[in-house]
Structure 1
Amino acid sequence: MKPSPDTCASEFAHAMQEALTRRPHRISPKWFYDTEGSRLFDAICELPEYYPTRTELGLLDRHADDIARRIGPGAEVVEFGAGSLRKVRLLLDALERPAGLLPIDISAEHLHASAAQLQRDRPGLFVRPVALDFTQDFVLPAARGPRVGFFPGSSIGNFEPDEAGPLLARMARWLDGGLLIGVDLVKEPDLLHAAYNDAQGVTARFNRNLLARANAELGADFNLARWAHSAFFHPPLQRIEMHLVSRCDQVVHLCGHALPVQEGESIHTENSYKYTVAGFQRLAESAGFRPEAVWVDSRRWFSIHWLRPAV
């Protein structure tokens, strides 16, 4: 497929070209989430090795009443990186007279399908899906009540520490009601390794789907068989790194450019930072939040934090 000039001028095209021309090669994980990427991530969340989703759901279920009491009645929930809207259903069930839900996600098709299903299931709930990149500056629609943020899944771990603080600071300005956020905790490397290298290979397909998306949308010619999935824990930085490693010397054609990649070079596609409870609370405080409560599972694998704007 020959891409159009508009396609090659897109932000995704620019990001892919930059990833392959700069060394080391690197791209934001936000580009994982086309429709197929969103579907594959939902599948990852069901895998036996992937503990974060079921652990966070368990915490939300067990502590729903306490969480709802702290949030209070009449809140409008803003979910960042909303995806399939599975977790927010537990929160909405517990809240008293929620004023509505404003789910935000970069994957427009997946977001609107999920929001439409939620609206069918809860016809009395006011749902306003917003398809955009919440890491960029934007203006939210007028609030319908105290605005409470919901940022589950430890997605904050996908941001570098010098990015996570400014993002939380913007949320502190947007949210007068507070922020409920899921944060993955530091734990045994073997457990972390298994979560990102599942036996069924779903995470590997999710990782390589980035290249399939470039082929479909940008007319690139990535040969997926020439790229290996690699995910590992980096202890000094307390993060999982995910890469696509070139199995051979190759040239990728993308929007009129011939981009050479050597055997063994990788495209760094994602980081997932792990925190201690105290370490994350320090980050939240530096961003303008006041930590008020934290819920942790019995194995100390995962945490959910309730934060209030400090002013």
Structure 2
Amino acid sequence: MKAAVSSMQESSQQDHEFLNDVLRGLAGDQKTLPCKYLYDELGSQLFEKICDVDDYYLTRTEAKIFNQYLPDIAEEVGPGALLVEPGAGNCEKVEGLLHLLKSPSGYYPIDISPEILYLAGQRIKKGLPHISIWPEVGDFTQAEVWDNLSNIESKKRVVFFPGSTIGNFEPDRAEQLLETFAANLRAGDGLLIGTDLVKDSVVLERAYHDSEHITEQFNKNLLQRINSELGGNFDLSSFSHRAFYQPLRQRVEMHLVSLRDQRVAIAGEQIVFLEGETIHTENSHKYKVSSFNTLLMKGGFKPVRHWTDSSESYAIHYAQAI
């Protein structure tokens, strides 16, 4: 009974936080919505579909790098490691590495979607029954999801952060996130992280505005979440998906564009949209290897080595906590 009450209280708290973030973001001159809310259960499923689209090269390229260099990467991680994966999702990217690691201490996936985390944990446990798994439901930018790490014995901790997720954060927030990672590691512990590299804008924009329009569904799903979870009345057909590259900031921006003057009600609040006004939902920053090494050092890490594909369009970095 206490567990049920605790779960209800946690759900209520999350709904309250979601509502506050939405109303705060839509009150600004440039309307925004936090990109973490794109990844509910349906959003996570849609993102998996995006990763299979030809236009979206990131997942495919990262997978090729892992496939080519996985033995080297596993050797760099070393024996006895506890892998910690913030934003684990379906946990598929970690499985190959877990198979090759010597005597791993276990796996600590963190994700805001309990359903996907549970199913992924069951799948990994079936394929790797000797691996201990400690799933943690929550937002990996919040301190409390890291607390249980101190209760797990391990020779070494390695944060596994693939998928260029670091690119979703503004540079100052990316530095803070790296500091959060470093604060939960010990000197000599590791960080294995993927970054998309600067390249031609046509390739970049096509990746975030795919020909199958799945990214559009993914982006608009956030409005549907607000409708179903917060009592909003967004008309999804009155918004369009837009993605474009900002060369000076070296990032792709995703927006939802209002196609007409309109009012939207959310929890009794009226939000006014002018035709052409946008909601900025996500950024994806692109890096050069040198600039990312600088960011790593600012965040409390020493760059050790990196691996790239033949065209140097994507990189996987290994760094040590200082």
Band the TM-score falls in, shorter-chain normalisation: over 0.9
How far apart in 1 are the matches of 2:141 and 2:43? Answer: 19
Aligned match of 1:298 = 310
Give yes or no for contact 2:141–2:180 (8 Å, CA) kept in 1.
no
Give yes or no for contact 2:15–2:229 (8 Å, CA) kept in 1.
no
Structure 1 residue 170 corresponds to structure 2 residue 180: yes
Distance change (3 Å), C-alpha of 1:36 and 1:60: same
Give yes or no for contact 1:7–1:217 (8 Å, CA) kept in 2.
no
1:14-63: CA deviations, max 9, x gaps? Answer: 11111222211012100001110000001001111111101111111111
How far apart in 1 are the matches of 2:98 and 2:277? Answer: 45
- Percent identity between matched residues is 44
Aligned match of 1:3 = none
Q: Quote the offset at 1:80 in angstroms.
A: 1.1
Q: Which moved more, 1:7-16 or 1:66-75?
A: 7-16
1:218-262: CA deviations, max 9, x gaps? Answer: 111111000100000000000000000100111111111111111
Q: Quote the offset at 1:111 in angstroms.
A: 1.5
Aligned match of 2:161 = 151
Q: Quote the offset at 1:144 in angstroms.
A: 2.6
1:191 alignment partner, one of 186, 200, 203: 203
Give yes or no for contact 1:81–1:106 (8 Å, CA) kept in 2.
yes
Structure 1 residue 15 corresponds to structure 2 residue 21: yes
Tell me the SS of whatever aligns to 1:18. helix
Distance change (3 Å), C-alpha of 1:163 and 1:7: closer
1:253-291: CA deviations, max 9, x gaps? Answer: 111111111111111000000000000000001111000
Structure 2: tracts of 5 or more residues without a match: 1-11
Q: Quote the offset at 1:195 in angstroms.
A: 0.4
Q: Which moved more, 1:104-113 or 1:243-252?
A: 104-113
2:147 alignment partner, one of 125, 140, 149: 140
Structure 1 residue 93 corresponds to structure 2 residue 99: yes
Distance change (3 Å), C-alpha of 1:308 and 1:23: same
1:229 alignment partner, one of 230, 236, 241: 241
How far apart in 2 are the matches of 1:71 and 1:309? Answer: 13
Aligned match of 1:119 = 125
Q: TM-score, normalized by length of structure 1?
A: 0.95
Structure 1 residue 60 corresponds to structure 2 residue 59: no
Tell me the SS of whatever aligns to 2:225. helix
Tell me the SS of whatever aligns to 2:53. coil
How far apart in 2 are the matches of 1:87 and 1:58? Answer: 12
How far apart in 2 are the matches of 1:106 and 1:210? Answer: 15
Give yes or no for contact 2:99–2:128 (8 Å, CA) kept in 1.
no
Aligned match of 1:282 = 294
Q: Quote the offset at 1:9 in angstroms.
A: 6.0
Which segments of structure 1 move beyond 6 Å, counting only runs of 4 or more?
Answer: none
Q: Quote the offset at 1:121 in angstroms.
A: 2.1
Aligned match of 2:192 = 180
Distance change (3 Å), C-alpha of 1:226 and 1:168: same
Amino acid across the alignment from 2:125: Q
1:147-189: CA deviations, max 9, x gaps? Answer: 1100000000000001001110121121232100001000000
Q: Which moved more, 1:173-182 or 1:32-41?
A: 173-182
Q: Which moved more, 1:173-182 or 1:112-121?
A: 112-121
Q: Which moved more, 1:9-18 or 1:224-233?
A: 9-18
Structure 1 residue 213 corresponds to structure 2 residue 225: yes
2:46 alignment partner, one of 35, 40, 45: 40
Structure 1: tracts of 5 or more residues without a match: 1-5
How far apart in 2 are the matches of 1:52 and 1:196? Answer: 10
Give yes or no for contact 1:31–1:210 (8 Å, CA) kept in 2.
yes
Amino acid across the alignment from 1:181: I
